[in-house]
């Protein structure tokens, strides 16, 4: 499934969670940023895995990076 097809399946909140995950935030950090419980973040990520057919956290991170990839260059100094 392509990133575009996955995006079509996801809600705005699910895409927001994926964006935070792609930035390297932990479940707890994502929860604090979005004013949610860590359990809710886990639920979002389980739903995303189900919709996208992703079987584990490593594949979820790859998906997050693909879906949120931007054509912007890396910031200087990184």
pLDDT of residue 78: 44
| Burial class of 49 by CB neighbour count within 10 A (0 to 12, 13 to 18, 19+) | middle
Tens digit of pLDDT for each residue in 4-58?
A: 788 889 999 999 999 999 999 999 999 999 999 999 999 999 999 999 999 998 9
Structure tokens at 76: 């200087």
Nearest to 21 by CA among 46, 4, 2, 1: 46
3-state secondary structure of 53: coil
pLDDT of residue 70: 57
User: 4 or 65: which carries more pLDDT confidence?
Assistant: 65
Within 10 angstroms of residue 48's Cβ, the number of other Cβ atoms is 23
Predicted TM-score (pTM) above 0.85: no
């Amino acid at each position: 499934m392509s990133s575009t097809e996955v995006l079509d399946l996801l809600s705005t909140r699910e895409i927001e969670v994926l964006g935070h995950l792609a930035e390297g935030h932990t479940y707890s950090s994502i929860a604090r940023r979005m004013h949610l419980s860590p359990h809710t973040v886990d639920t979002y990520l389980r739903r995303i895995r189900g919709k996208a057919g992703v079987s584990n956290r490593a594949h979820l991170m790859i998906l997050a990076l693909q879906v949120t990839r931007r054509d912007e260059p890396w910031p200087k100094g990184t």
